[in-house]
Amino acid sequence: MSSVAPPGARFHHGSVVVPAGAVHTTPLGYDRGSVPLGAPLPLPASAEFVHRLSGCGEVVVAFEGKLGDTLLALSGVRAVLDWLRLRSVRTAVRAVGPYAGLIARTGLLAQPPVTTPHGRRAVIGDRAGIEAHGSETVVSLVLDPAAPPCWSSDGRAHPDLPARHYLALERRLGIRLPGTAPFAPTLATGPNDLVEELRSVGWLGGLTIAAITATSWPERKDYTAQRYMALAEQVAEAQQAQARLLLIGGNAEDGFRVRAEAPRRHVQVLHLDGVPAEQLADLFPHCDLVVGNDTGLTHLAAMTRSPERPVIGLYARHSHSKWRTGLPHHHAVATDLSDRMHQGDLCPVRDVIPSDIDVHMGAFPPAELARVCLDLLNGVRP
């Protein structure tokens, strides 16, 4: 399943299938592989939910909370829209809120056109989005990351959040939906001014590494610019190349800010702070490698990249399997504590589990992490 990475941490490949018996799971209640597409499940549907959703002429997708939670919940939106298509229910679908542009890139909103939707509305989103946009609705669906368990079916576990959301909705809707692992949608990308400007001055030529320092919990999740620079130095020296390191920071106090550091021996460093997520979605596909903490921009990188370009998430405290997209090129390096959270389907926040040691990003020494990066860049499975 995994191989030894840095001391006290393990590497987990994104394509690994987790056996149901290896982790704590909740049985799905049916062998999914044996149920034909569109057939009723051997479980009762949520009758009131199905009744209300069937009568809606419009579906509004409304997320207002964290980017990461939103991206990992979009499989739940996919499940509802897959069900509407199977039932031949014609609805208008639109996204609202700060992530509407990103959601439009998934293709989920491309439903058959409804010229004049009637007034019955369903809202799908997080709690803040439904509170902001859920007035005058007949049904609201909250996609809470704490709610769906790690499901198991056909001998395998489905630990990632996109799988949890999709299968939870399949059970509630009562019919076998068409989605298969990985359940996370991918986002369309294209050129933008930032990408073209960086390309024109040489920042996207040669070996390009994007490293994400943005996080809502810096004391726990920031790997730090210094460690990323050391990591990039190790990778570039081993590759006998000059690397470009793009350090992706959070919101800058004075808005979008770009700052280059003096060139180092093997690495040129560019700080990009406060870049909107939609622009980063177009930038990530141009990087040879993305490394980031367990945060929304790392998930975004995985959902905008081709399968041959790896993304590595660093997990110190939370489950490395739950907080991933489930896409085969989205890998994890995780501490022993993260492994235990994965095995027991636990969350240190939700389950109020204090850490018995000071687990933080220092658990991943740059020199050891560089070996994992080099294996992935060279097409070798660590």
pLDDT at position 363 is 87
HSE toward the beta carbon, residue 244, CA cutoff 13 A: 18
pLDDT (tens digit, 9 = 90+) per residue, 150-168?
A: 999 999 999 999 999 999 9
Is pLDDT larger for residue 355 or for residue 208?
A: 208
Q: What pLDDT does residue 3 have?
A: 43
Model confidence at 280, in pLDDT bands (50, 70, 90)? very high
Helices and strands: H and E segment counts in the chain: 12, 16
Task: Specify the length of the chain in residues.
Answer: 382
Strand partners, 210: 246, 290
Q: Is the pLDDT of residue 196 over 80?
A: yes
Helix 67-86, helix 47-54: angle, nearest 10: 80
Mean pLDDT, rounded, for 71-75: 98
Both 129 and 79 in one domain: the answer is: yes
Is there a single domain that holds both residue 165 and residue 39? Answer: yes
In a domain, 323, yes or no: yes
Query: In this structure, which amino acid lies at residue 29?
Result: G
Predicted confidence at residue 4, as pLDDT, reads 42
Residue 76 falls inside a structural domain: yes
Say yes or no: 201 and 103 in one domain.
no
pLDDT mean over 314-328 = 96
Structure tokens, 377: 């860049």
Asked whether residue 242 falls in the same domain as residue 373, the answer is yes
Least confident of 56-65, 101-110, 153-162, 246-255: 246-255
Model pLDDT, residue 358: 57
Q: Give yes or no for a cis peptide into 182 (omega within 30° of 0).
A: yes
pLDDT of the residue at 205: 87
Same-domain status, 148 and 212: no
Instruction: Provide the pairing of β-strand 92-96 with 151-153.
Output: unpaired
Same-domain check for residues 281 and 310:
yes
Place of tokens 């993260």: 338
Mean pLDDT of the chain: 92
- Alpha-carbon torsion (365, 368, 374, 380), positive or negative: negative
> 178 in a domain, yes or no?
no
**Predicted pLDDT of residue 308:** 87
What is the Cα–Cα distance from 359 to 362, expressed in whole angstroms? 8
Three-state secondary-structure class, residue 27: strand
Does 147 map to a domain?
yes
- Which domain, by its residues, includes 11? 2-15+190-377
pLDDT at position 111: 64
Whether 146 and 234 share a structural domain: no
pLDDT at 97 over 70: yes
Q: Where are the alpha helices (DSSP H) in the chain?
A: 47-54, 67-86, 100-104, 127-133, 161-173, 193-200, 218-221, 225-239, 277-283, 296-303, 336-344, 366-377
Looking at the fold, whether 229 and 299 belong to one and the same domain comes out as yes
Instruction: Specify whether 159 is located in the same domain as 195.
Output: no
Domain count, the chain: 2
Residue 249 lies in a domain: yes
Query: Tell me, what CATH number does 234's domain have?
Result: 3.40.50.2000
**146/258 same-domain check:** no
Query: Does residue 25 form part of some domain?
Result: no
pLDDT of amino acid 1? 40
* Residue listed under structure tokens 């095995």: 343
What 276-279 contacts at long range (C-beta under 8 Å, 24+ apart), as own/partner pairs, is: 277/67, 277/99, 277/102, 278/101, 278/102, 278/192, 279/192, 279/194, 279/195
Q: Is residue 180 part of a domain?
A: no
Answer with the one of 119, 139, 173 that is the final residue of a domain.
173
Do 220 and 346 fall within a single domain? yes
Specify whether 349 is located in the same domain as 218. Answer: yes
- 76-94 per-position pLDDT tens digit: 999 999 999 999 988 899 9
